[in-house]
């Protein structure tokens, strides 16, 4: 796990207070330290933005590919999530009801805890895209 930059700069500020008893020189050193912190944060933000832009470009290339194996994995994951939810909330209760009629043990409920983050991530990204589309239509 990376050590947070803010903690490093907080520690630097405390060290400056101990090393420079003169408030004017300590203030100058803290100002330089603050500039370094801001430059580091801007560099991190630029790096994150560049990474996101690269991923968006990869997504565009994947979506434009005519092969279903390349462009279809995202919709495939969406449909897999839908099938799991349908099975868990419609199929299993229906089979449990039928099992009482035929005196057989009911089927177990599916554990959807591992599928939920995938589905929520896909829905969240879809909601953001819908919001972008609504904003672009409203601005026209």
d(Cα 56, Cα 50) in Å, to the nearest integer? Answer: 10
**Percentage of the residues of the chain whose pLDDT score is greater than 90:** 13
For residue 90, pLDDT beyond 90: yes
Q: Answer for the pair 110, 84: CB distance below 8 angstroms, yes or no.
A: yes
Q: How confident is the model at residue 8 (pLDDT cuts 50, 70, 90)?
A: low
* Parent domain of 15: 1-66
Q: How confident is the model at residue 121 (pLDDT cuts 50, 70, 90)?
A: confident
More confident residue, 112 or 99: 99
Q: What is the pLDDT of residues 14-73, one digit of tens each?
A: 666 667 677 787 777 777 777 777 777 767 777 778 887 887 888 788 888 888 777 888
Same domain, 60 and 77: no
Same domain, 20 and 36: yes
- Look at residues 11, 34, 66 and tell me which one is the last residue of a structural domain: 66
Same domain, 60 and 22: yes
d(Cα 114, Cα 97) in Å, to the nearest integer? Answer: 26
Same domain, 55 and 100: no
Same domain, 15 and 61: yes
DSSP letter assigned to residue 3:
P
Same domain, 49 and 89: no
Same domain, 57 and 13: yes
Number of separate domains in the chain: 2
Q: How confident is the model at residue 1 (pLDDT cuts 50, 70, 90)?
A: very low
Same domain, 50 and 81: no
Q: What integer best gives the mean pLDDT of the chain? A: 77
């Amino acid at each position: 796990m990376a050590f947070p930059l803010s903690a490093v700069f907080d520690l630097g500020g405390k060290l400056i207070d101990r090393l420079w008893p003169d408030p004017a020189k300590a203030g100058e050193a803290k100002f330089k330290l603050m500039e370094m912190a801001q430059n580091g944060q801007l560099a991190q933000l630029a790096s994150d933005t560049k990474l996101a832009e690269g991923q968006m470009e990869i997504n565009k290339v994947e979506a434009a590919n005519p092969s279903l194996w390349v462009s279809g994995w995202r919709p495939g994951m969406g449909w897999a999530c839908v099938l799991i939810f349908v099975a868990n909330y419609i199929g299993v209760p229906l089979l449990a009801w039928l099992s009482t009629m035929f005196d057989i043990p009911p089927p177990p409920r599916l554990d959807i805890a591992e599928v939920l983050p995938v589905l929520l991530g896909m829905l969240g990204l879809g909601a953001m895209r819908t919001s972008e589309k609504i904003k672009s239509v409203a601005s026209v």
